[in-house]
Chains A and B, each alone.
Chain A
Amino acid sequence: MSETRLQMRAGESANVILRDATVLDPVAGIDAPHDVVVRDGRIAELAAPGAASADGLEEIDAAGLHAFPAFFDPHVHLRVPGQEHKEDIETGSRSAAAGGYCGVLAMANTDPPVSTPADVEALLADARASASVRTGFLATVTAGMPGEGLTEMAALRDAGAAGFSDDGLPLRSARVLRRALQYQRLCGGTIALHEEDPELSGAGVMHEGPVSAALGLEGVPSISESTTIARDAAIAGYEGGRIHVQHLSAAESVEAVRAAKAAGVQITCEASPHHLCLTDEAVRSLDPRRHKMNPPLRSEADRQALIAGLLDGTIDCVATDHAPHAAEEKEVPFEQAAMGVTGLETAFAALHTHLVLPGTIELGLLVEKLSAGAEPFGVERPSLAVGSEANIALCDLAAAWTVGEDGYESRSSNSWCAGEQLTGRVQMTLVGGQIAYRLRSFSMGVAA
């Protein structure tokens, strides 16, 4: 996972032993206690617990902790350029490292949007200077994101764009999507789609259903998302293009993707932790800081359909849609507040608490889906197999903590689970062998 489309700050590679960690990497078929030896940025050895020689290596007591392949998030908002009051590459990537991530892909709906090769080059240079995890950048599909007029997709790819997306807004025009997919044959680059029909969404601020009826808030019907997915999947199938559907929220949408996959369309999709853990019932709080985002939190039936999609493989990966906003953009009535919640620091803990502990999904599936977000964009997924680059999330599954109690690494605090007590916490993140994050209370002391 060292593609040049992803950049991070250069640093010293740690030479360490994670002594007696429970190593779980379902894709590599590893599920047993090991001493994990990291040398020169790579996983040099998986030895029997206590068997690895400490010679010249720093020892970390990982007994009782789990070592997972570090996570990869194909959908974050780092807000650079133009909205650095919400987040920047340094704070956003630190937030990612704290969540156990080794890589992220940033969306292009910045101010101005990322639409030129120079924009991409500047961002990659910034990431080389300040990113704690491997950071890639999508460019917009349409120049300046008005939904019309393609960007110079080939030049953007040459400059290092990891893919394309007008995320934040849908591609209204079927013709524009078709042209972009035709052009994709020339330059590659997965097109990530925010699926929504503005005609059906109107001025909606939450899911349309009994809760929106009770609150007097305008609803966004599920069909706004699913009809657009069906349209775009048909176009992608016709053109032989490759699309990635972002933040699935509705049962109908899962069905649309399932049907497209069955028809052989090159389509992948993601779901966000907040859609997998919460429903529109939460919106009764009228708290936009935690519960206003697009797409909106939907019904329990929708949430169950997303879980079923994870289980049967229709949903390829978990992506946070980490969307930081400043306090003043959220301390207003619900309808006026900015859309979006932060999620990088809590994704693993929240899904572990809400889905794994109650037995809804297995730990291995969660780990697999959290690191699967690299593949839709042609990036090699993190692995714990010997010889792989050392991208490791070291987690304490028993650690109980309250979200926000120690503040956030992110510049913003609009976490969807702020104040919630979660079980399971990332203690340490290794990215390319570098220690990208270590929980303050986590000791680096020599193993006893």
Chain B
Amino acid sequence: MRHLLSIGDLTKAEIEAILDRAESFAEVGRRDIKKVPTLRGRTVVTLFYESSTRTSSSFELAAKRLSADLVSVKAAGSSVDKGESLKDTVATLSAYDPAAIVLRHPYAGAAQLVAEWADAAVVNAGDGKHEHPSQALLDVYTLRRRLGSLEGKRIWIVGDVLHSRVARSNLIAFRQMGAELTVCGPPALIPRGLEQLGCAVEHSLERLGEAEVIYALRLQHERMSESFVPSLREYAAHFQIDGRRLGRRQLLMHPGPVNRGVELSGEVIDSPQSLIAEQVASGLVVRMAILYELLASRDSEPAPAAGNGRHPTPIGQPA
């Protein structure tokens, strides 16, 4: 694995290898000294063009637990504010010879571009509404711990799929692991043609009872002004997962941050069925495993040529 750009680049076996590695880091996390020397002397850059709590903090802590030197750049307050292009920013940071660049960007394909420009391994920590592969990995990890296997499990993804990179990556990852997917939300928030990605589409929670796992998505407030849904109240009435709708044996997940009282009621967030806190804890060990796979595992040693066979056409020269 040369980069982590899209979860679709990974085979089931590759996903499982990362999750197994994460298990071993979970064991490290139970020790008094939670640090391993694996990436000593190597530099990890996190470059975040969007606000983030979970993803940025867990990648930063993951790098530190692996003993890497960390450079953490947030777009706000950096030369990005002065109009520097992504390409120039990446060239600047590349002068430090980083082993990895972890990128969060508001637009699709940004991580792929950086992978073309930089020598470092690139981790897509969210690109626009496109993908968020490390989230998908930590969600599969969390579910695997609870269920053993996702094979044949019925998972419902509920909410604003249109604007969700988490939904896109998780659809791919859950399917790759053998789960059966249903996507549910108001028609305006389900992208046209989504069923061709291999999931069922529902516009009502009537049959939610068949789900073994319910994965709720965040509904952003600005969607109201854009007329995707008429009001939060109307949305909650039809699509909120609350104590009445959540079965006792169903598991509940959410990528955070939650809008309490909108997509989830307060009671279910704190219910025993909720895996939300576990997801956050999984984030750290899975991101340690991602950095390890990219920078320290044996098959990551021989650089470019050996990658995953998916080398995008370089921009700026004839393909």
Residues on A lying within 8 angstroms of B by beta carbon are: 208-217, 219, 221, 285-287, 289-290, 327-328, 330-336, 402-405, 418-420
Q: Which residue of A lies closest to B49 (CB)?
A: A333
Question: Is A217 in contact with B108, judged by CB distance below 8 angstroms?
Answer: yes
Shortest beta-carbon distance from B110 to chain A in Å? 4
Q: Which of A213, A216, A418 contacts B131 (CB 8 A)?
A: A216
Interface hits, B187-225 → A, CB 8 Å? 191-194, 196-197
Question: Is B105 in contact with A332, judged by CB distance below 8 angstroms?
Answer: no
Add 13 more A-B contacts to A215-B130, A286-B112 (CB < 8 A): A210-B194, A213-B192, A216-B131, A216-B164, A217-B108, A328-B85, A332-B85, A333-B109, A333-B113, A333-B127, A333-B128, A335-B108, A419-B319
Query: Would you give 27 A-B contacts (Cβ < 8 Å), ordered by A?
Result: A208-B193, A211-B193, A212-B191, A212-B192, A213-B192, A213-B194, A213-B197, A216-B128, A216-B129, A216-B130, A217-B108, A285-B313, A287-B312, A287-B315, A289-B315, A289-B316, A330-B315, A331-B113, A332-B85, A332-B87, A332-B107, A332-B113, A333-B86, A335-B107, A336-B107, A404-B318, A418-B318
Shortest beta-carbon distance from B14 to chain A in Å? 20
User: Which residues does chain A contribute within 8 Å of B65, judged by CB atoms?
Assistant: none
Q: Which residue of B lies closest to A330 (CB)?
A: B315
Name the residue in B87, B197, B316, B319 with the highest tally of chain A Cβ atoms < 10 Å from its Cβ.
B319
User: Which residues does chain A contribute within 8 Å of B319, judged by CB atoms?
Assistant: 290, 418-420
B2 at the interface (CB under 8 A from A): no
User: Which residues does chain A contribute within 8 Å of B318, judged by CB atoms?
Assistant: 402-405, 418-419
Shortest beta-carbon distance from B175 to chain A in Å? 13
Q: Which residue of B lies closest to A210 (CB)?
A: B193
Interface hits, B101-156 → A, CB 8 Å? 105, 107-110, 112-113, 127-131
Interface hits, B282-319 → A, CB 8 Å? 312-313, 315-316, 318-319
Q: Which residue of B lies closest to A206 (CB)?
A: B108
User: Which residues does chain A contribute within 8 Å of B254, judged by CB atoms?
Assistant: none
User: Which residues does chain B contribute within 8 Å of A327, judged by CB atoms?
Assistant: 316
Question: Is A334 in contact with B192, judged by CB distance below 8 angstroms?
Answer: no
Residues on B lying within 8 angstroms of A by beta carbon are: 85-87, 105, 107-110, 112-113, 127-131, 164-165, 168, 191-194, 196-197, 312-313, 315-316, 318-319
Question: Is A219 in contact with B192, judged by CB distance below 8 angstroms?
Answer: yes
User: Which residues does chain B contribute within 8 Å of A285, judged by CB atoms?
Assistant: 312-313
Q: A208-B192, A212-B191, A333-B105 are in contact. Are A419 and B313 (CB under 8 A)?
A: yes
Nearest 10 A/B pairs, CB to CB: A419-B319, A216-B129, A210-B193, A286-B109, A333-B107, A213-B191, A404-B318, A210-B196, A216-B130, A419-B318
A328 to B84, CA, bound (A): 11
Shortest beta-carbon distance from B204 to chain A in Å? 20
Shortest beta-carbon distance from A335 to chain B in Å? 4
Q: Which residue of A lies closest to B169 (CB)?
A: A216
A334 to B113, CA, bound (A): 10
Question: Is B316 in contact with A331, judged by CB distance below 8 angstroms?
Answer: yes
Question: Is A219 in contact with B315, judged by CB distance below 8 angstroms?
Answer: no
Q: Which residue of B lies closest to A286 (CB)?
A: B109
A217 to B129, CA, bound (A): 7
Shortest beta-carbon distance from A410 to chain B in Å? 14
Q: Which residue of A lies closest to B117 (CB)?
A: A331
User: Which residues does chain B contribute within 8 Å of A211, judged by CB atoms?
Assistant: 193
Shortest beta-carbon distance from B261 to chain A in Å? 27
A328 to B127, CA, bound (A): 20
User: Which residues does chain A contribute within 8 Å of B194, judged by CB atoms?
Assistant: 210, 213
A330 to B316, CA, bound (A): 9
Q: Which residue of A lies closest to B164 (CB)?
A: A216
Q: Which residue of B lies closest to A205 (CB)?
A: B108
User: Which residues does chain A contribute within 8 Å of B312, judged by CB atoms?
Assistant: 285-287
A334 to B105, CA, bound (A): 12
User: Which residues does chain B contribute within 8 Å of A209, judged by CB atoms?
Assistant: 192-193
Question: Is A214 in contact with B168, judged by CB distance below 8 angstroms?
Answer: yes
Name the residue in A213, A332, A418 with the highest tally of chain B Cβ atoms < 10 Å from its Cβ.
A213
A290 to B131, CA, bound (A): 22
